[in-house]
Amino acid sequence: MINIDIDLNGLDDTLKEIEAYEQRFIFRLQRIGEQYVATARQKGSYDDHTGNLRNANSYRLYKDGRVLFQSIGSSITGEFLDNYITGIGLELVCGNGMEYCTYVEGKGYDVVSSGFLKAESEARKI
């Protein structure tokens, strides 16, 4: 029989620090998602006659495949964003669930580009 003597003093404090760090990181990711949505909706350079395309700019923040926070313009967009997760760790997914989004972007209009650039810029800061 082998005796192992481990000093666990301070472990609770360390775990609390890790949890606090994770909460700050989650808050920052949520903020980036919100900035993506706001930027994509505000800077969209197209006429949105129905409001569907602009409203479909959304994000979801996942932890181990479970939605923590979201800004979803439609259920179609939520299902669309779910296709891009691995289900492991923290994941922020931004996008537009309207099928014709890429068509409009391809015509030279800004639907998601400015939002993605903003999100990327903010993510690099953290």
Residue 108 lies in a domain: yes
Residue 65 lies in a domain: yes
Per-residue pLDDT tens digits of the chain, which is 126 residues long:
788 887 778 888 889 999 999 999 999 999 999 999 999 999 988 888 888 899 999 999 999 999 999 998 777 788 889 999 999 999 999 999 898 999 999 999 999 999 999 999 999 998
Structural domain tally of the chain? 1
Bridging pattern class, strands 66-71 and 57-63: antiparallel
Range of the domain at 38: 11-44+55-125
Residue 86 lies in a domain: yes
